[in-house]
Amino acid sequence: MKNKESASKKIKDLEHYQKDMKNKPLTTNQGLKVNDTNNSLKSGERGSTLLEDFLLREKITSFDHERIPERIVHARGSAAHGYFELYESIEEYSKAGIFTDTARKTPVFVRFSTVAGSKGSPDLARDVRGFAVKFYTEEGTWDLVGNNMPIFFIQDAMKFPDLIHSVKPEPNKEIPQAASAHDTFYDFVSLTTETLHNHIWVMSDRAIPRSLRMMEGFGIHTFRLINAKGEAHFVKFHWKPTLGVHSVTWEEAVKINGADPDFHRRDLWDAIEAGQYPEWELGIQVVAEKDEHKFDFDLLDPTKLIPEEMVPVKIIGKMTLNRNPDNFFAETEQVAFLPGHIVPGIDFTNDPLLQGRLFSYRDTQLSRLGSPNFHQIPINRPIVETHNNQRDAHMQMSIPKGETAYFPNSLSGGCPHLSKMAEGGFHSYEERIDAKKIRTRSESFNDHFSQPALFYRSLADWEQEHVAAAYTFELGKCNHEHIKERMLWLIAQIDDDLANKVAEGLGMEIPKDIERPINQAIGADADADKHQPGEKKNYLDKSKALSMANTKFNSIATRQIAVLAADGFNMKKFKSMTEILEKEGAMVKIVAPHGGSITCDEGMKHKVDAAIATTESVLFDAVYIPGGEKSVEAILDNGKFIKFINESFKYCKAIAVDDEGEMALDKSFIKAYKDDNAIHINDEPSKFVDSISKHRNWERRKLADKIPV
């Protein structure tokens, strides 16, 4: 169901371009009604096809050219429409209408993505997630093109092609797809130590989110906010999901990729269609210009975050996604995000990564969308009118009137005319620059170990174990010993304990010292010593916000609950359990031995959501087995149900059973562990709800490792 009431200005604009085919005749692109689209024009019934067949040629030509180049990075993505609302004006920092006018509902289009994989790659790759937001503001479009991690791999845009070439499939054999676990990536990472911070985030569960709706977003760079007096403040942008930040485990991710490669895309779509609109609060960390140098790291270095203990995040508004796109290609594929799209009140800093991005995104749209007129594609059009002297080029959709296409002019009355700042005219922040032109990296960017170490220290024990397992897995997939050795040495600079665990898993020794220079991302004539990673600092022991153990655990909304049942299940308990689960917003799905429907002990038919043969436990958050002897016996007759139960236990999920449902536990690995905190036998439904809202019972994990599924 589309939410018509909140149909925003942008949605109305898009409606203008929508085509509804209902009750319409099939026509050619010229409007000619078509009588036969099944047979080509031939000379005789069995004769050869004629060149004259313009119907055939139009149809086939269009088909032949349906594809456009996929994005060089972030090719795999899913998007949705929504809106942003401001809680309170922050006019002391920014004059942007979106940050001062609390009455506005600013339309947004948001695209989430993985980075390394192709358009058809699975959703649960271990990877950074793109989090790109297009705000259609009254003053023009603002694109906040961020990721789900607060830092980036590299410090200078000049390194981006190298980074991406190293992680993409190796060029001789085009292997592996959507995976960083290969030699070229670790060759690059181990020679480019600035990557280590983003890299350890990728080794954490942040890289395998439970849902796109349960991950944070970050603008990453330090930007500037500019107020009406022209004063600037540094700012970092944060998106915090109202459902909290939750992830799956790597083993589950691998299985999900097989069971449902569209897991995240489907989850986003289904939640919106069900009216369970994903929400994120927008937060800002603001730093006065005068405080630029008071930190132990450089604010212009995109491999550093500002710990929330040092600068708290001020929550200023909320984004809600309430509408799925009508057409994937027209909207999700053709949307073009450009970090260079800003509005008065927001400005850039000299972060060298951001500066390079300001070039790259416009450039890439030219090959992807084929023309500088890509801003005229409906999804990319601002909601405000545009007037300028740019003309022509492929696919010009407007018909600019008048005899002038230059400025200044007198023949068109000087129009389109300039706007003063007071009228909303954009004016770049006047930053003082007094410097020599130089190709180098600032030594203030040299700290490569402190923040990866802070991240690792801040994690809960189960998160740390997952990080160690991820390094071990990824390096275990590399073939070159010297690359693994370099990585082990570097991990030891981050954390000894972590390095020891990884070394043990690899069956290797941590090298005592390795030949310097370690960091090779320097010029040929540069003084290598000046650009090596500095000593690890400890300016903060732990930062709470870095661990998912400190996220929200107060909702089971949109959680997928599998009800394992067959004919004869006990309706009474089923009803009281599922009514409460559904009231709390969970999605209850009946998984049965077959499709169609099953009949409960009260003789009513219930639609089966998935036959056991078509689904897997890793697609669900929790399991409920109602009583009813006949029902439980029927499910125990099929080994896949037992696997389903064991696997749910293994991945530390909540499981509830009523009455004869306990027989299912006795047939599973759970038999000896029925006192587990998240196993509920004839328990109050509210207790099951509590366990599901905790996401996982990690206390179970050591035991769970022993379960052979």
Half-sphere exposure of 355 toward its Cβ, with a 13 Å CA cutoff? 10
Rounded CA separation 457/449 (Å): 12
We find the least distance from the C-beta atom of residue 530 to ligand HDD, in angstroms, to be 24
Among 135, 152, 223, 620, contact with ligand HDD (rule: CB under 6 A): 152
Three-state DSSP class for 455? helix
Q: What secondary structure, in 3-state letters, does 606-650 show?
A: EECCEEHHHCCHHHCCEEEECCCHHHHHHHHCCHHHHHHHHHHHH
Q: Per CB under 6 A, does 353 bind ligand HDD? A: yes
We find the least distance from the C-beta atom of residue 132 to ligand HDD, in angstroms, to be 4
Q: Per CB under 6 A, does 638 bind ligand HDD? A: no
Rounded CA separation 295/306 (Å): 9
Q: Which stretch binds ligand HDD (CB under 6 A): 87-95, 354-362, 431-439, 615-623?
A: 354-362
Residue 163 and residue 194 in contact, taking contact as beta carbons nearer than 8 Å: no
Among 97, 117, 122, 130, contact with ligand HDD (rule: CB under 6 A): 130
Q: Per CB under 6 A, does 116 bind ligand HDD? A: no
Among 295, 328, 361, 489, contact with ligand HDD (rule: CB under 6 A): 361
Rounded CA separation 517/489 (Å): 13
Interface with ligand HDD in residues 30-89 (CB under 6 A): 71-74, 77
Q: Which stretch binds ligand HDD (CB under 6 A): 2-10, 166-174, 356-364, 391-399?
A: 356-364
Q: Per CB under 6 A, does 302 bind ligand HDD? A: yes
Nearest to 38 by CA among 52, 23, 24, 53: 53
Among 169, 312, 340, 356, contact with ligand HDD (rule: CB under 6 A): 356
Closest CB to ligand HDD among residues 254, 353: 353
Among 257, 276, 360, 599, contact with ligand HDD (rule: CB under 6 A): 360
Residue 240 and residue 218 in contact, taking contact as beta carbons nearer than 8 Å: no
Closest CB to ligand HDD among residues 135, 337: 337
We find the least distance from the C-beta atom of residue 336 to ligand HDD, in angstroms, to be 6
Q: Helices 685-693 and 571-583 meet at what angle, rounded to 10? A: 40
Q: Per CB under 6 A, does 375 bind ligand HDD? A: no
Rounded CA separation 692/581 (Å): 10
Among 111, 236, 323, 531, contact with ligand HDD (rule: CB under 6 A): 111
Question: What are the residue ranges of helices labelled H in 450-568?
Answer: 450-458, 461-476, 481-494, 496-506
Closest CB to ligand HDD among residues 445, 688: 445
Q: Terminus-to-terminus CA distance in the chain, angstroms?
A: 39
Q: Per CB under 6 A, does 549 bind ligand HDD? A: no
Q: State the CB neighbour count (10 A cutoff) for residue 48.
A: 9
Closest CB to ligand HDD among residues 68, 395: 68
Rounded CA separation 228/430 (Å): 14
Please state whether 29 falls in left (phi above 0), alpha (psi between -120 and 50) or beta: alpha
Burial class (CB in 10 A: 0-12, 13-18, 19+), 215: buried
Interface with ligand HDD in residues 671-690 (CB under 6 A): none
Closest CB to ligand HDD among residues 297, 337: 337
Half-sphere exposure of 671 toward its Cβ, with a 13 Å CA cutoff? 8
Q: Per CB under 6 A, does 141 bind ligand HDD? A: no
Q: Per CB under 6 A, does 471 bind ligand HDD? A: no
User: Which x/- pattern, by CB under 6 A, does the window 218-257 give for ligand HDD?
Assistant: --xx------------------------------------
Which residues, in sequence order, are CB contacts of 582 under 8 Å at separation 6+? 588
Rounded CA separation 651/701 (Å): 7
Closest CB to ligand HDD among residues 328, 361: 361
Closest CB to ligand HDD among residues 145, 592: 145
Among 122, 146, 283, 325, contact with ligand HDD (rule: CB under 6 A): 146
Closest CB to ligand HDD among residues 353, 625: 353
Rounded CA separation 184/374 (Å): 35
We find the least distance from the C-beta atom of residue 224 to ligand HDD, in angstroms, to be 16
* Residue 444 phi, psi (nearest 5): -70, -5
Q: Per CB under 6 A, does 113 bind ligand HDD? A: yes
We find the least distance from the C-beta atom of residue 365 to ligand HDD, in angstroms, to be 6
Closest CB to ligand HDD among residues 145, 556: 145
Nearest to 276 by CA among 472, 605, 612, 557: 557
Which residues, in sequence order, are CB contacts of 572 under 8 Å at separation 6+? 602
Rounded CA separation 506/401 (Å): 69
Q: Closest residue to ligand HDD, Cβ-based?
A: 130
Residue whose tokens read 């676990």:
181
User: Which x/- pattern, by CB under 6 A, does the window 383-422 give for ligand HDD?
Assistant: ----------------------------------------
Rounded CA separation 476/472 (Å): 6
* Residue-wise DSSP of 493-510: HH-HHHHHHHHHHHT-PP
Among 78, 106, 141, 147, contact with ligand HDD (rule: CB under 6 A): 147
Q: Which stretch binds ligand HDD (CB under 6 A): 52-60, 140-148, 340-348, 373-381?
A: 140-148
Rounded CA separation 465/462 (Å): 5
Closest CB to ligand HDD among residues 115, 678: 115
Residue whose tokens read 């939750």:
246
Closest CB to ligand HDD among residues 498, 546: 546
Question: What's the chain's length in residues?
Answer: 709
Rounded CA separation 390/231 (Å): 32
Closest CB to ligand HDD among residues 85, 162: 162
User: Which x/- pattern, by CB under 6 A, does the window 155-184 give for ligand HDD?
Assistant: --x--x------------------------
We find the least distance from the C-beta atom of residue 76 to ligand HDD, in angstroms, to be 10
Structure tokens at 141: 């479009």
We find the least distance from the C-beta atom of residue 72 to ligand HDD, in angstroms, to be 5
How many residues bind ligand HDD (CB under 6 A)? The answer is 27
Nearest 5 degrees, angle CA 53-CA 54-CA 59? 105
Among 337, 348, 471, 569, contact with ligand HDD (rule: CB under 6 A): 337
Sign of the Cα pseudo-torsion (247, 250, 252, 257, in order)? positive
Return the CA Rg of the chain.
Answer: 28
We find the least distance from the C-beta atom of residue 519 to ligand HDD, in angstroms, to be 18
Catalytic residues: 74, 147
We find the least distance from the C-beta atom of residue 633 to ligand HDD, in angstroms, to be 50
We find the least distance from the C-beta atom of residue 154 to ligand HDD, in angstroms, to be 7
Nearest to 539 by CA among 418, 423, 454: 454
Q: Per CB under 6 A, does 357 bind ligand HDD? A: yes
Q: Per CB under 6 A, does 300 bind ligand HDD? A: no
Closest CB to ligand HDD among residues 152, 641: 152
We find the least distance from the C-beta atom of residue 198 to ligand HDD, in angstroms, to be 9
DSSP letter, residue 139 = T
Q: Per CB under 6 A, does 132 bind ligand HDD? A: yes
- List contacts with ligand HDD (CB under 6 A): 71-74, 77, 111, 113, 130, 132, 145-147, 152, 157, 160, 220-221, 302, 335-337, 353, 356-357, 360-361, 364
